[in-house]
Amino acid sequence: MLFPDYRPRRMRQSAAFRKMVRETTLSVNDFILPLFVVEGKGVKNPIDAMPGNYRLSIDNLVKVAKQAYDMGIPAIILFGIPSKKDPLGTQAYAKDGIIQRAVKTVKSKLPELMVITDVCLCEYTDHGHCGFLDGHTVDNDATLDLLARTALSHAKAGADMVAPSDMMDGRVAEIRSILDENEFTRIPIMSYAAKYCSAYYGPFREAAQSAPTFGDRKTYQMDPANAQEAIREATMDVEEGADIIMVKPALAYLDIICRIRDEVDLPVAAYNVSGEFSMIKAAEKMGWIDGRKVMMETLTAIKRAGADMILTYFAMEAAALINE
């Protein structure tokens, strides 16, 4: 169809027309809210690089989780910051660990809210890497048992879903096996399948106090230059028993979200990560952009690329706009 017979502007001339032909719609149901939990009581420590986000003690975590639930947000994902760390990250899989207690408390107060737990060791190890160290190298196979034990401890505490973010080879199969062996066949796995070694994680590492004390994570997280490898990673996790496939980060990897959506017949999640959030907040503070509009445009782009659900620190702010 060519002008003048076809005039695309006909369907843009009013808000009603634009709504009628809108191809992508954001819903509060799309959002998963990340939250950080710490030891103590009455703790609400602001995260400087992530305005509006806090490290919360369990009592305050419940309050924020209830606010999110009352806004219609269906799920939260928890990141724990223990009071002590060690080389094996033992607090990650301790029965009375910070995440385990947080899950039990939130589920007792808000049973209908879905509680997802991040399964990794970086927040719990004194070296800040995501697994067991052999010298200065993360030992993939030795790490699998620790990750599986962590996932099982979360399931026993009442988690609705576990989300391994470590990027060890074979961890989805290991976690699926231990969950099934312990009669947690109903617990799904949301795999951080295509998790890139990204500079966009900086504010998160401040929030979670999880920066590595030496080196980097390039030997286990993906090279940002690679796309086909993401398909292989996602396909492997599907075959190992993942229920949801995640791409992280989101905004700089919209092409990866789109390609995985085309290749994988499972729900696709995307993590709108801390750096993406903080850049918008910083530019808004400087008066360079309309923060709310850029937020909604960004989240719409992630959904348009093919994400079925979005992990985002904007969840409550975006939900408030959607609910207006």
160 DSSP assignment:
S
pLDDT at 207: 77
Per-residue pLDDT at 134? 84
Q: How many CA atoms lie within 13 A of 26 on its CB side?
A: 23
Output 206 or 120, whichever has higher pLDDT: 120
Tell me whether residue 66 is one of the annotated catalytic residues: no
What pLDDT score does 132 carry?
83
DSSP string, 168-188: -TTHHHHHHHHHHHTT-TT--
Tell me which of 84, 85, 156, 195 is the catalytic residue.
195
Contacts of residue 111, Cβ cutoff 8 Å, sequence gap at least 6 = none
Share of the chain above pLDDT 90, in %: 88
Please, are residues 38 and 53 in contact by the beta-carbon 8 Å criterion?
A: no
**Residue-range domain boundaries for the chain:** 26-322
- 3-state SS record for 51-107: CCCEEEEHHHHHHHHHHHHHCCCCEEEEEEECCCCECCCHHHCCCCCHHHHHHHHHH
The partner residues of 163 in beta bridges, in order of sequence, read 118
Q: Tokens for 164?
A: 């391994």
Rounded mean pLDDT of the chain?
95
| pLDDT at 215 (0 to 100) | 67
Q: What is the pLDDT of residue 150?
A: 97
pLDDT of residue 86: 92
Q: Which top CATH class is 26-322?
A: alpha beta
C-alpha span between 256 and 246 (Å, rounded): 10
Q: Is the pLDDT of residue 60 over 70?
A: yes
Token pair in block for residue 132:
């067991």
pLDDT tier at 214 (50, 70, 90 boundaries)? confident
123 close to 81: Cβ distance less than 8 angstroms: yes
Catalytic option among 107, 248, 281, 303: 248
Alpha-carbon distance of 251 to 275, in angstroms, equals: 10
Element (H, E) at 259: helix 254-263
* Contact assessment for residue 130 and residue 122, using Cβ atoms and an 8 Å cutoff: yes
Task: Specify the pairing of strand 44-46 against strand 54-57.
Answer: antiparallel
The per-residue pLDDT for range 24-53, each reduced to its tens digit, is 999 999 999 999 999 999 999 999 999 999
Q: Token digits for 208?
A: 């979670």
Q: For residue 212, what pLDDT band results from cuts at 50, 70 and 90?
A: confident
Cα–Cα distance, 35 to 55 (Å, whole number): 8
| pLDDT over threshold 90, residue 276 | yes
Tell me what pLDDT residue 216 has.
77
d(CA 295, CA 285) in angstroms, rounded, equals: 13
**What DSSP assignment string belongs to 200-258?**
GGHHHHHHHT---SSS-STTTSBPTT-SHHHHHHHHHHHHHT-SEEEEESSGGGHHHHH
Q: Is 44 a catalytic residue?
A: no
pLDDT, position 157 = 98
pLDDT (average), residues 151-174: 97
**Per DSSP, what are the bridge partners of residue 33?**
76
Q: How many Å apart are CA 154 and CA 57, to the nearest integer? A: 18
State the pLDDT confidence band at 220, using cuts at 50, 70 and 90. confident
> What pLDDT digit, counting tens, does each position of 121-142 carry?
988 998 878 888 888 888 999 9
What residues form DSSP beta bridges with 70? Answer: none
pLDDT tens for residues 176-202?
A: 999 999 999 999 999 999 999 999 998
